[in-house]
Each structure stands twice: as C-alpha cells, then as structure tokens.
Amino acid sequence: MLPAVFLFALCLPAQTNRSPQALLKEATEFQQAGKFDQAIADYRQVLEMYPDLAPVRSNLGAALAGSGRYAEAIVEYNRALAKQPDPHVRMNLAIAYYKTTQLEKAADTLAKVRQEEPGNVQVTTLLADCDLRLGRNKDVIQLLTPLHQAGSSDLGIAYMLGTALIRDNQVSQGQVIIDPILKNGDSAEARLLMGTTKLMVNDLKGAVVDLQKAVELNPNLPDVYSYYGSALLSTGDPAGAQKAFQKELALDPNSFEANLRMGVLLRQDEDNAGALKYFERALMVRPGDIGVRYQMAATNLALGDVEQSRQELEKMLKEAPNFIEAHVTLATVYYREKRKADGDRERAMVAKLNAEKQAAEPAQTAK
C-alpha cells in the first residue's frame, strides 16, 4: 500500500467533501479488510483529482484484481506502468494476465520482470509454468535446470522440470528429476508424470491407468484431463477421450491440447462447424501454430470455403514446404477449382516428399 504522507505532499483544492488523504486512508483500510468495492470507489475518486499518480493506479488495479475484475485491473496496471515502471506492478500485471489465461502476455511480462529482478525465484517459476502450459518445453528446461542444479528442494520445480524433459522426449533425464516426487508418496502430480512418461514410450494401457488415478486424486490438476483424453484416444476410446477433453475445457477453456483434440474428433464426426470453433480457440492460444492452421484449412474445405482453404494452404506451404499433408489437401483444392496443372504439380510434390521420407527412414534406423 502507498503511504498517505508520500502521496499528497502537494494538495490542490479537493473536488469532494473529503480530502484526498482521507479518501486514500479509507481506501487502504477497505482494501486490507477485503472490502474491495468500497476501496475501488475511493481510489477512483482520488484519481479523478490526480489521474497521474501511478501508485494509486496500481492500488486500484490490486483492488480490482482482489474482486476478480482482472480485465479492469490489467488496464489500471498498464496505466500505472506507463507513468512509472515498477517490477512489483509489472508482476501484478503478469499475474492478472495469468489469471485470465492470457499466457503469451503473461510470459512476455514475466520475462521483463525477470530482467529487472533476475534472482527472483517466484518470477522464474511462474514464467516456467506459463511456458509449460504453452508447450515451450525447452524454455522451461533452460529456466529451471539452474535452480534444480543449485539444490532446490521445491517439488513444484522438480515437477515442472521433469514434465518438460519428458515432453521434450528426454524421458530418462525427466525420470531422474521426478524421483523426489515419486518418493513423496502417491499423488496426482506423480501419477501424471508417470502417465505422460508411459505415453512417451508407447505404454498406452499403463498410461491410462496412471492418468485415471491422477484424475481421481486431483481432478483440478492442470492438463490432467488433456493427457487422460489423449491416452484414451490412443487406446481406441474416442467417446471417453471426448468427455475428458470437455472436462479439461470446463477447467481451462484455453487448453491448447484439448481444443485441438476436440476439433479433430468433431471433424471425424463430420461436425465441421463445431470443429472450426475449437480450432479457432486453439489458434488463439498459440497464434501461428501450423498444425492448427492446417486443420482449419482442411475444415474450411469440408465446409465448402475452397478459396479460404487454398489461401491458407498456399501461405502455409511457403513457411513449411515439406508439409506433405498440406500438399495433399492443396492438390484437392486445385482440382476442385479446375486447376488440373496445379493439382498435378502438388501430387508430384507429394510423391517426391514421400520418396525422400522413405529413403531417410532406413538411414535413421541404422543409427
């Protein structure tokens, strides 16, 4: 909280019956007592008189966040930072982004705080959490490995680092990291890690068992239903998988994996309009993701929007010219547009890429 003595050393004539100092004192007391609506009203009155006071903007943001009004809090934190950069305010802004699942913005903001306070472990772990949720496993590993090597006993750090390693296909290293969690007794976190590990090594039935147990132990564990759904899907239970993905989305509407998988399942059921909504949400979470963009292009084609599909596929293949499935779909688009020469060219490219892929596989096996 901001000391009243500091705020109004120079006090202009007040536009209210109470002085700014009195309003600020009352607002602080309301906020400390959890009476956020009253605190907000008082802070706003002060800011009507002194709109450039960054600390009051920050306090207003905190009161708004305390009442769950994060979108308004974000506005006030940004206004405060525009007037006066402050790592503490920036951290509060990052948390507000995190609470509203704006993970890209949260991560970007936390990265700035980390530059200002490089030794702040809380900032580093929250940034790692954002990166983990965004699928940036290598970034998580880079952030948390120094903390783990320094002897951190924080099981949360071990959990995130081990998870990132496993998801990055560094399964054996990840298993070493998560040993402290496994030794800590049966927990949802341990079961989730074991389940994801088994998924990585294709022990699908074992993964289902562990992930089902993780769901039972803590159904609110982030991503647990996404991985459970993936395991069910891999073992031939699409109906069970769909229920799991829906539960994940009830907990986190911006889950990338659950949105993507739900879209794919609905596409398979020929509910293309429904699928497109999930793909759009997934793309919002990870802008530019080429896998989602391909799914959207294929869905648009199924919906009859041939031109939209073609434009996206052509743009995509400039970025990823070896994307075989995109070439296949683009060939279909060209044939529908009566562009036989272009369609034939795409089919020839598919044959060429498949031949190169088959030639490379024996070499990789021999290594």
pLDDT at 111: 96
Percentages of the chain per state (helix, strand, coil), in multiples of 5? 75, 0, 25
Specify whether the CB–CB gap between 66 and 78 falls below 8 A.
no
pLDDT at 177: 85
Tokens at 50, concatenated: 């002194």
CA 243 – CA 351 distance, rounded (Å):
38
User: Which amino acid is present at 252?
Assistant: D
- Overall size of the chain counted in residues: 367
Indicate the DSSP class of residue 222. T
Specify whether the CB–CB gap between 306 and 296 falls below 8 A.
no
Is 278 contained in some domain?
no
Q: At what angle do helices 238-251 and 256-268 cross, to 10 degrees?
A: 140
pLDDT at 189: 80
Q: Give the mean pLDDT per block of 10 residues along the chain (367 residues).
A: 42 57 89 90 90 92 87 92 94 90 91 93 93 91 93 81 89 82 75 81 89 93 92 95 96 88 95 95 82 95 95 95 96 96 96 90 56
pLDDT at 127: 96
Is 204 contained in some domain?
no
Q: At what angle do helices 36-49 and 20-32 cross, to 10 degrees?
A: 160
Tokens at 188, concatenated: 């949802």
Is 272 contained in some domain?
no
Q: Which pTM was predicted? A: 0.62
Q: Compute the Cα dihedral for 353, 359, 365, 367 and give only its sign.
A: negative
Is 86 contained in some domain?
yes
State the CATH number of the domain containing residue 27: 1.25.40.10
Tokens at 17, concatenated: 């019956």
Is 53 contained in some domain?
yes
Phi, psi of 223 (to 5 degrees): 75, -5
Full domain range(s) for residue 6: 1-98
User: Which amino acid is present at 197?
Assistant: T
Angle at the Cα of 45 from the Cα atoms of 42 and 46, rounded to 5 degrees: 90
Tally of domains in the chain? 1
User: What are the angstrom distances between the C-alpha of 152 and each of 165, 175, 191, 354?
Assistant: 17, 17, 22, 48
Q: Which of 189, 218, 212 is nearest to 204 (CA)?
A: 212
Is 35 contained in some domain?
yes
pLDDT at 195: 86
CA 24 – CA 114 distance, rounded (Å):
31
Is 107 contained in some domain?
no
Distance of CA 200 to the CA centre of its chain: 21
pLDDT at 362: 63
Residue with tokens 């009203």: 41
Indicate the DSSP class of residue 15. S
CA 208 – CA 331 distance, rounded (Å):
38
pLDDT at 133: 83
Tokens at 41, concatenated: 């009203």
Is 36 contained in some domain?
yes
Specify whether the CB–CB gap between 343 and 313 falls below 8 A.
no
Tokens at 129, concatenated: 């959490």
Q: Which of 238, 186, 175, 241 is nearest to 214 (CA)?
A: 186
Helix (H) or strand (E) holding 338: none
